[in-house]
Structures are given as C-alpha cells and as structure tokens.
Chains A and B, each alone.
Chain A
Amino acid sequence: MSTYQNTFSRLNRAALIPFFVIGDPTYAVCLDLVKAALDSGADILELGIPFSDPIADGPTIQKADIRALAAGITPAMALRFVREITEYKPVPIGLLVYYNLVVQYGTERFFKDFKEAGGASVLVADLSIDDADEIVPAVEAVGLQTVFMVTPNTPGPRIKAIVEKTTGFIYTVSLLGTTGERSSLSDSIRPLIARIRKHTDKPICVGFGISSPEHAQQVASAGADGVIIGSRIVKFIEENLDQPQRTQDRIAHFISEVRAALEQTGRIEQKR
C-alpha cells in the first residue's frame, strides 16, 4: 500500500495538510516551523520550491518565494530540507514545483533525488496531463506518485482523464484563481467534489483559500479527504518576520485548532 493510501485510510477524518515554501523566511527558521507544524497535528505536508515567476500563486506565496530566494534557497537545498523533515518524522510529503526547476535540475535526477529524500508525490504547477508523459516515466520509475489538479472549470471528460493519470491524490480548488486567503469559501466545493467522485475513489484534497478551522470543517464535511492550507500559514510568517518564535507559536496554535476541528467533523460524519 502506498504512503498516501496508508495515511488516508488510517484517518477517519480529513487529513490536515499545511503548505510551506521551503526556506521561507530562511532555511533554519523554516525547518523549525515545519517541525512545529508536524508536532501540532499536521498529517501530510505540501512543500513548494521557491521560483522566480510563480504564476499559479497569489501575492502571499509570491512574497514567500521572494523571501526564500533571497535567503539563497536552491532546488538542491530544498531537497535536503525534505530529507531533514522526513528524518524528523516520516510523514508523506507532496512537492509543489514549477516545471523549469525540474527541467534545469534534470528531470530524472530530480525525481530520483526527491524520492531518496523521502518524498511521496509531485505536483508540477505548470504541467498539465496533456504533457504528463514528459515526467510520468521518471516519476514512476522511482516510485513517486503523481498529483494533478482539477479546477471548477474543468470539463467532465477532462476530470476523468486527470483522475486516471493521478496516482497520489487529486488536488482540487474551491474557486477560480491563484492561491490566497479568501473570506468565504465558494458553494461550488461540494458539487465539485461530487463531480470528481463520480470518476474515482482516489483521495481528493482541497486547497486555495482555506484560512480558518471553520473553512476546514466545511471542506471536510463536503467530502474532502484532505485539507491543504497554504496562504494562511505563510501569512503567519509574513506577519511576524522579526519574531520567529512568535510565528512558530501562532502556526502551532492554528494547526492544533484546525486539527481539533477536523477531528470533531470526522466524529460527526462517522456517527451519521
């Protein structure tokens, strides 16, 4: 059984998946923050390698990329970071990366090194299933899993093709747009999950715009297997740049709140 299937089936609730840009604001501080997130209840991690031109990301994560690049983070350092985390705690790590970084590193070598670092899956932000063949052989050869996105405007036949190409989890977003906090989550999430469910029983994780325990609960009760929280977490870093300890406390507190909310939702759903 794969790492993800292990994790998802062990939980009787939605998985909590925080997102960090590796090396934001620095390698050392980020390492502490990610460890704190794990200690306070994260089940899975989604980690991004900073890129100079992150077109899928909103302002919050763009700024995180800029901070991490200014701290000198390279893809090689990012892979070392993954190794340090998996040595600390063996959780599944999904990588979010822009395609040019993979290509310049060398596609086969990149996935091999990520697997050796303990990684579980890859989502290439700017590579769609139409060109998946450019990475899938290298990904599968080393035993990594693929993650692809489904968005609210993805037509049905394409959803089918996407879930077929996916071996890890389906990453879906509740609304059109880039990453970023939203004050309310769109109503489209439940029907979207239902549309995807028609085609697959693979895990479905929801991201983009989830910024409170209540949001996480809504998404979980809409049927998501995992809740990915990015910009809200990254914002804690941005808000406390000169106080790393305070950042860490706030992230730990937030994660444990979301975790408690998800456990509560999980129990309610189970009783039904």
Chain B
Amino acid sequence: MKHKGRYGPYGGFYVPEVLIPALEEIEAAFERFKNDPEFYEELGALYADYAGRPTPLYYARRFSETVGFAVYIKREDLLHGGAHKINNTLGQGLLARYMGKTKLIAETGAGQHGLATAIVGALFGMQTKVFMGCTDVQRQNVNVHKMRLMGAEVIPVEGGTGTLKDAINDALRYWTAHVSDTFYLFGTAGGPHPYPSVVRYFQEPIGRETRRQCLDKIGRLPDLVAACVGGGSNAIGIFSGFLDDPQVQLIGVEGGGKGLDTRQHCATLAKGSVGILHGSRTYLLQDENGQIHETECISAGLDYPGVGPEHSYLKDTGRAKYVAVTDEEVLDVFDLFCKTEGIIPALESSHALAWIYRQKGRLSQDTLAVVNLSGRGDKDIGIVEQHRPLGEGLL
C-alpha cells in the first residue's frame, strides 16, 4: 500500500501492524468492486430507492433575501436517516457484504453515522456494534434510541471527553481483536488509507449531482460552495464535484466553539498543526508535545481534533479555504433558518449556514452560493433548547 492514500504529504496508514492486513483487504476489495457492474448497479438502486437520491438543490428564497445574495441548498438532510452519512454506509456496507463479512462496527459522534450504520446493518442483516462517547450518548440520545430500535448495540465509551475521538480509539481497539470477521465501517473521510478515498468515493454523488443541478437549473456554476467540516466527508463529497472548476470557491467551515482564542473549539484546520492520529498524517489540535487536545463544540458531529487528510492538502494548496464559526453564530442561524425556510438544519450543517450569514452585506447580490445541508436538525432540538429557550433569535 506504500504510496497509495497520500494527498501530498498527508494521509497514509499509521496503524499497529495487526490492522495492516485488514486495511489491505478492504483496499483490494474496494478497487475490485467499485468498478464491478453488479456492485455499481446494486448501489445505484439503493441510493435511488432506499436512500432517496438524487437529493434536490433548492433555492432558499427568504434566507437569500436576508443575506442579500442567492443561496442554494443541497438537501442531503432529506436522505433516509436524515444525513449524508447513508451514502457512505450503503457503499461500505455493500462492500462488506461483497467481501463476505457478517459483522459491522462503527464509531459515531452525533449518532448520525451510527444511525446510518445501524440502518444498513438492519437492511443487510448484519450484526452491528456502534461505539459512541458517553458525552455524545447523552447529548444525542434520540439517535441512541433509533440505533437500538434497528437492532444495533450501542457501546458507550468512557475516557477522554467521551466524544468522537474516544469512540474511534475504542472502535479501532475492538477491530484489532476481531479483524477476521468484522468490517469497520468508518464514518468520515479520515483515518488510515483506504478510508479517506473510500468514503470520498461514496460521497462523490453529492458533488456530481450539485454540479449538474447548478448547470441545469441556474445555467452556471456557483461562485462558492460551503460545507461544514468535522472529519470532512460531506465537504469532500460536495467539493469533489468542483475541484476542477477553479472559479468555484470552496469553503470548509469548522466548529469555532467558544472562539478560536479559547481551547474550546474544534477548528482543526484553522488552528491546528500537522501530526499523526488515527492512522493519518494531517492537521490536528495538539499540544507542543504531541498530546491530542480535547475539543469542545456545540455540534457533536464536528467535535474531533483531527480532519481528513485531503482537506489538509486542499488547505495547503489553497484550493479550499477553511474558516470557523462560533457556537453563538450557529445557534443564531439555526433559528433564522428554521423561521425563514421551514427547515430544521443539523447543528453541523448550521456551521456552513452561519458562515454564509456572516457574509451578509459583504458579497455582491449576484453572488451564487451553494450550501451542503448535510443533515436535518431534529436530533439537536434538545441542545438548542438548553442554550436558547424558545423564541430568542435573530428574527
């Protein structure tokens, strides 16, 4: 695998020896099946009939009027399960089935990837275990219930801050002991090779569809495309459609938490430095000795001190720009978006919306922006209510 899975200096597969054969097996299966007509057809049918692809590209009229330029929304929130995560879990789940694996494990932060894995586990009749930090189990308990309903076992992970990083640690440890019959269905475009390219591949329909829809509907490419970045899967999915269109600005929006001058954020690309975590060389939030920081962010799905390696590369090359918005900005725009569009956005996706809102009055009115609405926010209502008793907002 030596030279594969590199994005400039980033990526790689920095894992204990015991995991190497499993990663090689997945890499080989992925290379073989992604071009297999039967696999392709089966996945296409699942995307269309089960998940609900293609998703609409929708002109958010009242939100656009509020910010003063045109904002189109890629409606990944309408997918089955309520987030883009199902694109990846259907793809990897099918891959696991073609490989003859019978058990799935996954990590989850917001519970969206865990839920999407539980869905696929039920669909394919595979035993599913989901590792989830204990903080996240509490703040995303609706998703915990949903996963259990679908027959998945949710394993709360103590240790660290009980968030996504800790869940990945324990999922990797479990996998180490069960590599022979278990497929690790990784949730974001990060981790060791081949996951960054596998996850990207299964999220690419977002970008392909968006580009075509822009041309068909609006007659031109957008000026900018914004997406939130946790590990980076929804962002790389939509960015991938526009990487070869240099006139399209790509904006990745990270969790600025309580502010970038505090330690309570998860803005890995905006504030981090290069290191190695979870199998990948990439930007990280870490101290001067290389111990990984514990992050804090209102959105569980972004609460991670690393990021997919391709984003590190896109940052260095300047092809994409990475910015951060604070929890407060996110809560403001969450409320605004509900009231102007009748759509409850996930707190993760609200980060991208918040950056757009910040451009109010700064971009010309003929600007055309696309936001990847990676998920719906039903799971977040409890958190929002804790911070903002009903009725307080921008409107």
Which of the segments B93-101, B260-268, B272-280 contacts the partner chain?
A: B272-280
- Measured CB to CB, the closest approach of chain B to A169, in angstroms, equals 14
Closest B residue to A172 by CB, please name it. Answer: B17
Judge if A47 is at the interface, Cβ distance under 8 Å: no
Q: How far is the CA of A122 from the CA of B179 in the complex (A)?
A: 26
Contacts of B367 in A (CB 8 A): none
A104, A149, A153: the one within 8 Å of B180 (CB): A153
Provided the pairs A55-B278, A75-B290 are in contact, do residues A131 and B12 lie with their beta carbons within 8 angstroms? Answer: yes
- Measured CB to CB, the closest approach of chain B to A19, in angstroms, equals 15
- Measured CB to CB, the closest approach of chain B to A69, in angstroms, equals 7
Q: Assess the A128–B15 pair: CB atoms within 8 A.
A: yes
Q: Assess the B180–A176 pair: CB atoms within 8 A.
A: yes
Which of the segments A28-36, A95-103, A239-247 contacts the partner chain?
A: A95-103
Count A-B pairs with CB separation below 8 Å: 107
Contacts of A155 in B (CB 8 A): 21
Q: Assess the A154–B291 pair: CB atoms within 8 A.
A: no
Q: Assess the B18–A173 pair: CB atoms within 8 A.
A: yes
Most chain A beta-carbon contacts within 10 A, residue among B16, B169, B292: B16
Q: Assess the B179–A176 pair: CB atoms within 8 A.
A: yes
- Those of B275-330 within 8 Å (CB) of chain A: 275-279, 284, 286, 288-292
A62, A69, A148: the one within 8 Å of B291 (CB): A69
Most chain A beta-carbon contacts within 10 A, residue among B14, B15, B159, B292: B14
- Measured CB to CB, the closest approach of chain A to B254, in angstroms, equals 20
Closest A residue to B158 by CB, please name it. Answer: A59
Judge if B201 is at the interface, Cβ distance under 8 Å: no
Q: How far is the CA of A230 from the CA of B20 in the complex (A)?
A: 23
Q: How far is the CA of A131 from the CA of B12 in the complex (A)?
A: 9
Q: Assess the A105–B275 pair: CB atoms within 8 A.
A: no
- Measured CB to CB, the closest approach of chain B to A101, in angstroms, equals 5
- Measured CB to CB, the closest approach of chain A to B244, in angstroms, equals 30
Contacts of B284 in A (CB 8 A): 100
Q: Assess the A126–B177 pair: CB atoms within 8 A.
A: no
B12, B169, B291: the one within 8 Å of A55 (CB): B169
Judge if A150 is at the interface, Cβ distance under 8 Å: yes
Q: Assess the B16–A125 pair: CB atoms within 8 A.
A: yes
Q: How far is the CA of A126 from the CA of B21 in the complex (A)?
A: 14
B-side interface residues, number (CB < 8 Å):
35
Contacts of B292 in A (CB 8 A): 52-53, 100
Judge if B213 is at the interface, Cβ distance under 8 Å: no
Q: How far is the CA of A130 from the CA of B23 in the complex (A)?
A: 13
Closest B residue to A133 by CB, please name it. Answer: B2
Closest B residue to A66 by CB, please name it. Answer: B159
Judge if A56 is at the interface, Cβ distance under 8 Å: yes
Q: Assess the B276–A103 pair: CB atoms within 8 A.
A: yes
Contacts of A55 in B (CB 8 A): 15-16, 169, 172-173, 176, 278
Q: How far is the CA of A29 from the CA of B261 in the complex (A)?
A: 37
- Measured CB to CB, the closest approach of chain A to B279, in angstroms, equals 7
Provided the pairs A155-B21, A176-B180 are in contact, do residues A104 and B286 lie with their beta carbons within 8 angstroms? Answer: yes
Judge if A74 is at the interface, Cβ distance under 8 Å: yes
Provided the pairs A100-B277, A104-B288, A104-B289 are in contact, do residues A130 and B177 lie with their beta carbons within 8 angstroms? Answer: no
Judge if A151 is at the interface, Cβ distance under 8 Å: yes
Closest B residue to A104 by CB, please name it. Answer: B290
Judge if A213 is at the interface, Cβ distance under 8 Å: no
Interface string of A175-189 (1 = CB under 8 A from B): 111100000000000
- Measured CB to CB, the closest approach of chain A to B159, in angstroms, equals 7
Provided the pairs A52-B291, A103-B275, A125-B16 are in contact, do residues A130 and B2 lie with their beta carbons within 8 angstroms? Answer: yes
Judge if B75 is at the interface, Cβ distance under 8 Å: no
Contacts of A66 in B (CB 8 A): 159
Q: Assess the B177–A53 pair: CB atoms within 8 A.
A: no
Contacts of A142 in B (CB 8 A): none
Contacts of B45 in A (CB 8 A): none
Q: Assess the A100–B286 pair: CB atoms within 8 A.
A: yes
- Enumerate the 8 nearest inter-chain pairs by beta-carbon distance, A residue then B residue, closest first: A104-B290, A177-B177, A151-B18, A149-B17, A100-B290, A56-B16, A52-B291, A100-B276
Q: What are 12 A-B pairs at a CB distance below 8 A?
A: A53-B278, A56-B176, A100-B275, A100-B286, A101-B289, A101-B291, A103-B276, A126-B15, A128-B14, A131-B13, A149-B18, A176-B176
Give B residues with C-beta under 8 Å from A. 1-2, 12-18, 20-22, 159-160, 165, 169, 172-173, 176-180, 275-279, 284, 286, 288-292
Give A residues with C-beta under 8 Å from B. 51-58, 62, 66, 69, 74-76, 99-101, 103-105, 125-128, 130-131, 148-151, 153-155, 158, 162, 173, 175-178
